[in-house]
Amino acid sequence: MNGAESLVRTLVAGGVDVCFTNPGTSEMHFVAALDKVDGMRCVLALFEGVVTGAADGYARMADKPASTLLHLGPGLANGLANLHNARRARTPVVNIVGDHATYHHKYDAPLTADIEGFARPVSNWVRTSPDAKSIAQDGAEAIAAAKTPPGRIATLILPANTAWDEADGVASVPAVAERTAVSEDAVAAAAAALRSNEAKVLMLTGAAIRGRGLELAGRIAAATGARLMCPTSTARLERGAGRVALDRLPYPIDIGLDRLKDVKQLVLAGAKAPVAFFAYPGKPSVLTRDDCEIHVLAGEADDVVGALEALADELGAPAQPAGVQDAFRPALPSGALDPGSIATTIAALMPEGAIVADEGITGGRCVPAATIGAPPHDWLSITGGSIGLGLPMATGAAVACPDRKVISLEGDGSGMYTLQALWTQAREGLDVTTVIFANRAYACLQVELTNVGATNPGRKALDMLDIGRPDLDWVALAKGMGVEAGRATTAEEFNDQFARGIASPGPYVIEAVV
């Protein structure tokens, strides 16, 4: 077999059996190998930002990496922003980037670029395979690197001749490092902090905001009265009726500061100490008060669930968690369509086990509170602040979980970065209902203009924050990519449209004019 086939066989044997691709000439042997090997699902995307964002959404839900196939330096570069988001989410990803044959490099042909240079800032592991005989082993090591806690980006560069030359065979994935157990001292310090009579918060993320982690957090809250919080952006949060509810740190700095203003003891379980998303003139960067004591129970690569287990034991926590969310469904709204009524409709109709991919920006701001009592669901957010993740992330999540409904909340501005994801959803028949908050504006930035103290904006400045003239026609855009779509301008129309999306087994787009 050739190098490309040895790599594909190694990926499949190592459990990496989905590949999001956008190939070119240098990847043709890899593409040809896909047919020689059973077990690899290949999903084409029409832009690399969709490839990398889909790989992120997939791994968040599948709990294992997908691979990507990208075309030399420019293909990788097109996918960098969503690799940045994936890196911030601690998502495991195995990137395969084709390159010119090793002997062709010295001619500086047009697509020649510093691929390792492009890859390094978003990758924890980068390697260029030197020859076909090394590729299987390099591929196996890339998988191990991606799976190394807390989840990493591995980028393997595949020169064309290493793909077509004769290879040795398949390699198996080396042992992956376990998550580190936390020290007894860290547990004791966290317990002392949470026993204190001062205002206290347990800030959780990663595995701590799913399943067993949430239950333990609730038991710790029951023992201590600690407030349970999570960061603004989390890779995957399990929430809804019957689950321990967390107080999510709000994005706007003033509200975030207010939420933490009394806190004197902060215990971090997998999370970082909270800082402002941006610096604002005259406002602090750190969101906790100066005299707040911060204790790290578990870092991001530590066994945070084991740490919570030890903490619950240390505190003699009761079996019943505190803060379990009651079931609550609102009635369907009527009248004007606005972010509040849209959130109410979603809360009324979203099915159990839904996956919400949240890039709703200001239009989606009411959905989290409205849906907290809805049937249990998962919530995926943009972790690196780089918009253009939402539609690809929803696509990848739907590939990972074909039996679950994906609800994609999308700002119209953010959606335009990677709208080609809709074509992939149509081609793959993915069960995604997308709500486009069509406010014809970069509304978030209109608020930020004031927040940073830029006063008296003129017409040119305001024009940079307005995306009307012409208004985007999302129904036509979706239909042009083979996705059924409808428009809603009233709450009643949105109720009908959303019910239609939920009833559809395939992709459906709703342009909600707000």
Ligand X SMILES: Cc1ncc(C[n+]2csc(CCOP(=O)(O)OP(=O)(O)O)c2C)c(N)n1
Sites of contact with ligand X (CB under 6 A):
81, 361-363, 385-388, 411-414, 439, 441-445
- Which residue in 438, 398, 403 sits closest to 422, CA to CA? 398
Amino acid code (one letter) for 290: D
CB of 418 to ligand X, least distance (A): 10
Return the number of the residue (4 or 389) whose C-beta is nearest ligand X.
389
Q: Answer yes or no: are the C-beta atoms of 79 and 72 closer than 8 Å.
A: no
Name the residue with the smallest CB distance to ligand X.
411
Question: Cα dihedral sign for 357, 270, 176, 80?
Answer: positive
CA angle 409, 413, 414 (to 5 degrees): 55
CB within 8 Å of 218: residues ≥ 6 apart: 228, 244, 321, 322, 323, 324
Return the number of the residue (265 or 362) whose C-beta is nearest ligand X.
362
Gap between the Cα atoms of 340 and 317, Å rounded? 38
CB of 137 to ligand X, least distance (A): 36
Q: Please, which residues bridge with residue 125 across strands?
A: 154
CB of 437 to ligand X, least distance (A): 6
**Cα atoms in the 13 Å half-sphere on the side-chain side of 335:** 7
CB of 411 to ligand X, least distance (A): 2
Return the number of the residue (112 or 446) whose C-beta is nearest ligand X.
446
CB of 359 to ligand X, least distance (A): 7
Gap between the Cα atoms of 263 and 279, Å rounded? 21
Return the number of the residue (332 or 443) whose C-beta is nearest ligand X.
443
Return the number of the residue (129 or 341) whose C-beta is nearest ligand X.
341
Gap between the Cα atoms of 57 and 9, Å rounded? 24
CB of 88 to ligand X, least distance (A): 12
CA angle 334, 336, 337 (to 5 degrees): 95
Three-class DSSP labels, 153-200: EEEEEEEHHHHHCECCCCCCCCCCCCCECCCHHHHHHHHHHHHCCCCE
CB of 365 to ligand X, least distance (A): 8
CB of 467 to ligand X, least distance (A): 7
Gap between the Cα atoms of 453 and 450, Å rounded? 5
